[in-house]
Structure 1
């Protein structure tokens, strides 16, 4: 963990400083190429598959698949909460996992929320934030979409932070991955109008997606200092 944190700290510094609009995007040229690839992939495959998925399956089944995916991710949330020193968050996620696994039929139903146990979500990217690692440069990753160097490092580490991956045999260990992918399709289908307006109706879909993602991520982390640096009117002059 220390080695990963050190690497992330180096990556987070980036080759260039934060721009006046509060966005650190030294790799914009490469990022725009990846964005064009992701946009084409969405148009040709992801969007049609997502709309078809949401149209065919009842909402109840889509919700159950999403609940199942989130429940299998709870152990990773516990680990990251402990690494952040958040004992309350770790306790809530532990109780949620046990409750939904037993009473919610392996997590297909979110019984814990009915018991007023709120969902607590975190990842290793947030762990790095708590440890003081900087946000780093903005990145757009193939297929995965918007990210930062800190978030990308966290995504790699999160492949190994779920204890279930070490105790569950194949092919069962991949159920969570399949469910998470299906849940992603469900979200893409349900919020198709919003996503389409960003990707296909805005004057500069790259700048629009970058601004929205960074604002949302910084809000999730409670990174008020960084969020305050973003110029809310940045899109008025970008991409025109």
Structure 2
């Protein structure tokens, strides 16, 4: 992990000080983006629409609750690594409550009792530790990311016993639950996602813009100045390439 982080590409000072995305691997990223579009068009999109159309909303919500609950121990560990004991306690408390009186996480009584939902990952932990985000990359199947977040995805997956059981793949319940959760999100927000992926003049550039701005806002909060909501401006056009000259 440390070798991968130390090898992260570092942008030039003028790139870091501008709004231009640091994307030295753009040619390769665009090839991966086209692959992801093909997978989405042929498999993921129709499967997601079929799933949300066939499965009743209450059952779909229960599956999503179950998947979210499985991620709580990992969130608690990452908050602990970040030095945020309060949020770590909240994540652990939510997991214990939803896993017991919430029928193994199928229900969400923690939110009903006013315990706020918290979410983090190892990519955020690396940001707290001072690692830069590195270059933008698009991962096969997973989608937009950065070098730092790609390392985080790897660590979160392979260090969580709920999602990775190499001796018995059938025990990877967290992996399957996350897949169902992503299927649900793709189906429920199909119109918005389709407008970005299939109706934009340059879906790669638009996806990159939205991901980087939202991820930076998520990590920096309201104190950061890197986030600009593309939909807050009435003149924003999803059909236009935001980086066109």
> How do residues 158-169 of structure 1 correspond to structure 2 at under 5 angstroms?
158-162=156-160, 164=162
Q: Are 1:227 and 2:226 an aligned pair?
A: yes
> How do residues 21-60 of structure 1 correspond to structure 2 at under 5 angstroms?
21-60=19-58
Distance 1:16 1:188, change over 3 A: farther
Tell me if structure 1 keeps the 8 A contact 2:98–2:104.
Answer: yes
Corresponding residue for 2:196? 198
Gaps of 5+ in 2: none
Distance 1:136 1:64, change over 3 A: same
* TM-score w.r.t. length of structure 2: 0.87
Q: State the alpha-carbon separation in 2 of the partners of residues 207 and 239 from structure 1.
A: 9
Q: State the alpha-carbon separation in 2 of the partners of residues 75 and 9 from structure 1.
A: 28
**Structure with a larger share of its residues in helix:** 1
Distance 1:100 1:138, change over 3 A: same
Distance 1:31 1:197, change over 3 A: same
Corresponding residue for 1:8? 5
Question: What is the CA distance between 1:174 and its match in structure 2?
Answer: 1.3
* TM-score w.r.t. length of structure 1: 0.88
SS at match of 1:146: strand
Q: State the alpha-carbon separation in 2 of the partners of residues 53 and 165 from structure 1.
A: 22
Gaps of 5+ in 1: none
Corresponding residue for 2:185? 187
Distance 1:236 1:144, change over 3 A: closer
Q: Paired residues, what number?
A: 237
Question: What is the CA distance between 1:16 and its match in structure 2?
Answer: 9.3
Corresponding residue for 2:130? 132
The CA deviation string for residues 20-48 of structure 1, in whole angstroms up to 9 with x for no partner, is 43311011111011101111111111100
Q: State the alpha-carbon separation in 2 of the partners of residues 228 and 170 from structure 1.
A: 42
Q: Are 1:104 and 2:85 an aligned pair?
A: no
Distance 1:16 1:158, change over 3 A: farther
Corresponding residue for 1:18? 15
Question: What is the CA distance between 1:165 and its match in structure 2?
Answer: 5.8
Distance 1:228 1:43, change over 3 A: closer
Tell me if structure 2 keeps the 8 A contact 1:62–1:186.
Answer: yes
Q: CA RMSD in A?
A: 2.8
Give the counterpart of 2:176 among 170, 175, 178: 178
Question: What is the CA distance between 1:160 and its match in structure 2?
Answer: 3.5
